[in-house]
Amino acid sequence: MLDPDIEVRTYFARHKNALVARGDFSELFAAWYLHRMDHHLSFASDLEDVGREALAAITLHCASRPWKESCAWTVQFRHPRVNVFAAGDNNTGTVVANLLTENLKPIEKGIFYSDVVENLKAPRRSVVDFKTDSFLEAVEVFYTKSEQRPVRFFWHADEDLVMVAAQPDCDLEWLQSLDSAAIQRLDQDVELSLLEKRKFRFECGCNHDRMANFILPVFKSQADELFGGDQTISVACPRCGAKHILTRELLEAKVENSDPDR
C-alpha cells in the first residue's frame, strides 16, 4: 500500500538569505483525484490545474510556518469565476482543497482571504486584492502585501513545486531574477542547508456529525424548505466537497438534544 504522506523539505539559501521549500506532490494530487472520484466531483481541466496549484502552494506555505499553526485561504477569482479554498494544519500534517463554481456573484477584482490560528491564540485574518488570473501569482501578491516579503513559485517538474521566500536581509535582486532555468540548477549555484522535513497528506476530517452541526442552524429555521418533503438531503463539505447524506430524523434528534427545556 502506498504511503499517503508526502515529504516537504525546507532549506536555507546561504548568502542569499532565503527559505526554499519543495516537494513532490504526485501522491497528494493522486489522493485529491481519488477523493473527487469517490464523491463524483469534476472540474474543467484549467480549474483542475488551479486546484493542484492551491494544494501544492498551501502545503509549501505550511511547511515554512510554525508547527502549531493552521491556516486557510479563500481566493476569489474574477475570471474564470471560481472560489478556491485551501487549508493546512501543521498540528495534524493535513491539507485540503476545494473549488466552488456555482451560484457565485460577479466580482470586479480578485480577493485573497487568509485565516490563521496559532497555538490557541485568537484567529487572525488578512485580506488583499489582486488582478492576476494565476493562483500562484495571487499567492505571491498575498505575500508581498500581507506577509510583507516577496515569494516566488516555480515548477521544477510537473508535480514538483518550489517556493523561494525572502528572509531578513534577503538578496532581493537575486530573488527577483530567478527563472525556471535558475531553479533547475539551484542546488548547484546556491549553498542550501537543510532545515527540516515535514510530512503532509490530503485529509479533511469531515463526517456526518460535523456536517449535521454545520447545517443545524438552517434546519432549525427552515426545516421544511431545506428538505422539501424528502427525508434526506445531500450536504457538500465546503472544505473538500465531499457529499454527506443527512436524514431529517438525525437533525430532529440534534435539535431535541440541544434544547435545554426538553
End position of a domain, from candidates 202, 218, 237: 202
Q: Given the C-alpha cell 490563521, which residue does it identify? A: 116
Give the C-alpha separation, 19 to 149, whole Å: 12
pLDDT of 4 reads 75
Q: Specify whether 159 is located in the same domain as 127.
A: yes
261 pLDDT tier (thresholds 50, 70, 90): low
Give the C-alpha separation, 129 to 260, whole Å: 44
Q: Specify whether 160 is located in the same domain as 132.
A: yes
The three grid cell numbers given for residue 171, joined into one nine-digit string: 538578496
pLDDT tens digits, one per residue of 67-90: 999 999 999 999 999 999 999 999
260 pLDDT tier (thresholds 50, 70, 90): low
Residues in the chain: 262
Domain CATH code at residue 178 = 3.55.30.10
Q: Specify whether 161 is located in the same domain as 235.
A: no
Q: Specify whether 63 is located in the same domain as 175.
A: yes
Q: Specify whether 51 is located in the same domain as 89.
A: yes
**Considering only CA atoms, which of 82, 84, 62, 61 is closest in space to residue 73?**
84
pLDDT of 262 > 50? The answer is no
- The pairing of beta strand 192-202 with beta strand 94-100: parallel
End position of a domain, from candidates 174, 202, 230: 202
Q: Which amino acid is at 219?
A: F
Q: Specify whether 190 is located in the same domain as 212.
A: no
Q: Specify whether 161 is located in the same domain as 181.
A: yes
33 pLDDT tier (thresholds 50, 70, 90): very high
22 pLDDT tier (thresholds 50, 70, 90): very high
Q: Specify whether 42 is located in the same domain as 144.
A: yes
End position of a domain, from candidates 186, 202, 218: 202
pLDDT tens digits, one per residue of 217-228: 999 988 898 998
Residues of the chain with pLDDT > 70, as a percent, come to 97
Give the C-alpha separation, 255 to 259, whole Å: 6
Residue 1 covered by a domain: no
Determine contact, residues 175/150, Cβ cutoff 8 Å: yes
Give the C-alpha separation, 233 to 171, whole Å: 55
pLDDT tens digits, one per residue of 118-158: 987 889 999 999 999 999 999 999 999 999 999 999 999 99
**Considering only CA atoms, which of 98, 86, 215 is closest in space to residue 139?**
86
Three-class SS of residue 64? coil
Determine contact, residues 197/7, Cβ cutoff 8 Å: yes
Q: Specify whether 170 is located in the same domain as 228.
A: no
Q: Specify whether 218 is located in the same domain as 195.
A: no
**Considering only CA atoms, which of 201, 199, 197, 160 is closest in space to residue 4?**
201
Residue 118 covered by a domain: yes
pLDDT of 166 reads 98
Q: Specify whether 10 is located in the same domain as 52.
A: yes
Cα-trace Rg, the chain: 21
Burial 164-197 (b: 16+ CB within 10 A, else e): bbbeeebeeebbeebeeeebeebeeebebeeeee
Domains held by the chain: number: 2
Task: List the domain range (segments joined by +) for residue 33.
Answer: 6-202
Determine contact, residues 134/154, Cβ cutoff 8 Å: no
Domain CATH code at residue 239 = 3.90.1280.10
User: What pTM value is reported for the model?
Assistant: 0.91
**167 DSSP assignment:** -
Mean pLDDT of 1-25: 90
Distances in whole angstroms, Cα of residue 8 to Cα of each of 23, 32, 93, 119, 205: 5, 17, 11, 22, 21
